[in-house]
Amino acid sequence: MNEQSVLHDLVSRNEAEILQRWIERQLGASNFRSDRISKVEVSDQSRRFLSLFRQSLSSGSADLYSPAWANTRQMLEEVSVSRAQQGFAPSETALFVFSLKETLFEGLQDQLPKDLKAASQMILDTNQLLDRLGLFTTEVYQRGREQLIIRQQQELMELSTPVVTLWEGVLALPVIGTLDSARTQVVMENLLQRIVETGAAIAIIDITGVPTVDTLTAQHLLKTVAAARLMGADCIISGIRPQIAQTIVHLGVDLGTVITKATLADAFAIALRRLGLGVTKVGAPKKRREPEAQSTTRDRTED
C-alpha cells in the first residue's frame, strides 16, 4: 500500500523525466527494431502507457484485474495486437514493459526507505507489478493466436468438403486432404444432406486430392458409401491414382461392391449412362438438325 503510493508520487512528480529516459533507453537498446516500428510510435505508446500507469497506481490497488487497471490493460492489449501485426515476437512485446523497470528503479533509489527490509520489499513489489503487466501482453498475444488457430480449423473443415452438382441427379464430392474420423463425419453429413435436398441418385466421391489411403481411410470411405446407399443413392469412387491402387491391394482392403474408376470423367460417364443419358457430338453446323432430333439426352425408358 505504502510502496505503491511512493511509486505513484515518484511517477506523478517526474513523469516527463521518466518518460524521456524510458524512451531513450528503448530507442538506444541494441535490439531496437527500427525496421518494424517508428520512433514516433514508440514515444506515443510509452507516453500513453506511463500516463495510464500513473492513473492506475493512484487507486492503490495492485490487482491487475480490478477496474482501476482496466484502462491500462486495454492499452496493453492494443499494443500487443499492433506489435504482433508488426511482426514482433511476444518476448519483444513484453520487453516494452520490462524496460520501464530500469528507469523506475533509478528514480526510486533516492526514495527508498532507510530500513533495508522495507526497501527490498518495495523493490520486490514494484518488480512484481511490472512483471505482471509484461506477462499480460504475452497472454494477450497467446489468446489472439489461439483464436486464429480455432477459426482457421473451422474454416478448413468447411472449405474442404464441398458437394457439387454435376448434373441433375448426379453429385460429386471432391475430397481434398487426409480423411480422418472427424472429417469423415462432416463429409458424410454434407453428402447425405445434399442427397436429400437434390434427390440425387448417384454420388461420385473423387479422391484425387487424398494424399494417402490407409486401411482407416478406406474404412471411412466404405462407411460413406454404405450410408449413401442406405439413403437410396449409389456411390462411385473415382480419382484413384496408380500408387493408391497398389496400396489398397497391398493392404488387402476389400472395396467390395463399390464401383471404382480411375478418373472423375469415367465416373461421370457411368453416372450419365445409369440415368439413361448420354453425350453425343453435335455435328457440323449444316447438319445440325439431325443429331439434335436425337438430342444429347436420351429418354430413360430407352435404356
Partner 1 sequence: MERIPILKMGEYLLVTIQVDMHDRLAMTLQDDLTARIVEARAKGVLIDISALEIVDSFIGRMLADIAAMSRVLDAETVVVGMRPAVAITLVELGLSLTGVRTALNVERGMDLLRERIRERFSE
Cβ of residue 300: shortest distance to partner 1, in angstroms?
10
Total number of residues that touch partner 1 (CB under 8 A) = 19
> Strands of 170-176's sheet, edge to edge?
164-167, 170-176, 202-209, 234-238, 259-260
Q: Which x/- pattern, by CB under 8 A, does the window 56-75 give for partner 1?
A: --------------------
Q: Which of 23, 94, 173, 192 binds partner 1 (CB under 8 A)?
A: 192
How many Cβ atoms are within 10 Å of 280's Cβ, its own excluded? 12
Cβ of residue 185: shortest distance to partner 1, in angstroms?
8
Q: Which x/- pattern, by CB under 8 A, does the window 239-258 give for partner 1?
A: ------------------x-
Query: Is there binding between residue 163 and partner 1 (CB under 8 A)?
Result: no
Q: What is the rounded CA–CA span in Å between residue 206 and residue 175?
A: 6
Pick 112 or 253: Cβ nearer partner 1: 253
Q: What is the rounded CA–CA span in Å between residue 79 and residue 96?
A: 9
Query: Is there binding between residue 195 and partner 1 (CB under 8 A)?
Result: yes
Q: Which of 48, 132, 229, 241 binds partner 1 (CB under 8 A)?
A: 229
- 260: which strand partners? 237
Pick 52 or 259: Cβ nearer partner 1: 259
From 72-80, 111-119, 203-211, 221-229, span contacting partner 1 (CB under 8 A): 221-229
Q: Which of 29, 150, 196, 245 binds partner 1 (CB under 8 A)?
A: 196
Q: Are 166 and 201 in contact (CB under 8 A)?
A: no
Query: Is there binding between residue 157 and partner 1 (CB under 8 A)?
Result: no
Cβ of residue 298: shortest distance to partner 1, in angstroms?
17
Query: Is there binding between residue 223 and partner 1 (CB under 8 A)?
Result: yes
Between the two ends of the chain, the Cα-to-Cα distance in Å is: 92
Cβ of residue 214: shortest distance to partner 1, in angstroms?
19
Of residues 183, 283, 200, 287, the one with CA closest to residue 235? 200
Pick 62 or 188: Cβ nearer partner 1: 188
Q: Which long-range contacts (CB under 8 A, 24 or more apart) does 1-8 make?
A: 1/60, 3/121, 3/122, 3/125, 3/126, 4/57, 4/60, 4/62, 4/125, 5/60, 6/108, 6/111, 6/122, 7/57, 7/104, 7/108, 7/126, 8/54, 8/57, 8/58
Q: Which of 29, 148, 226, 245 binds partner 1 (CB under 8 A)?
A: 226
Q: Are 271 and 170 in contact (CB under 8 A)?
A: yes
Tell me, what amino acid is at 128?
Q
Cβ of residue 233: shortest distance to partner 1, in angstroms?
7
Of residues 102, 109, 107, the one with CA closest to residue 15? 107
The three three-digit cell numbers of residue 186, written as one number: 462432416
How many Cβ atoms are within 10 Å of 34's Cβ, its own excluded? 9
Q: Which x/- pattern, by CB under 8 A, does the window 111-130 give for partner 1?
A: --------------------
Q: Which 172-191 positions form the footprint of partner 1 (CB under 8 A)?
A: 185, 188-189
Give the interface with partner 1 as residue ranges (CB under 8 A). Answer: 185, 188-189, 192-193, 195-196, 199, 201, 223, 226-233, 257
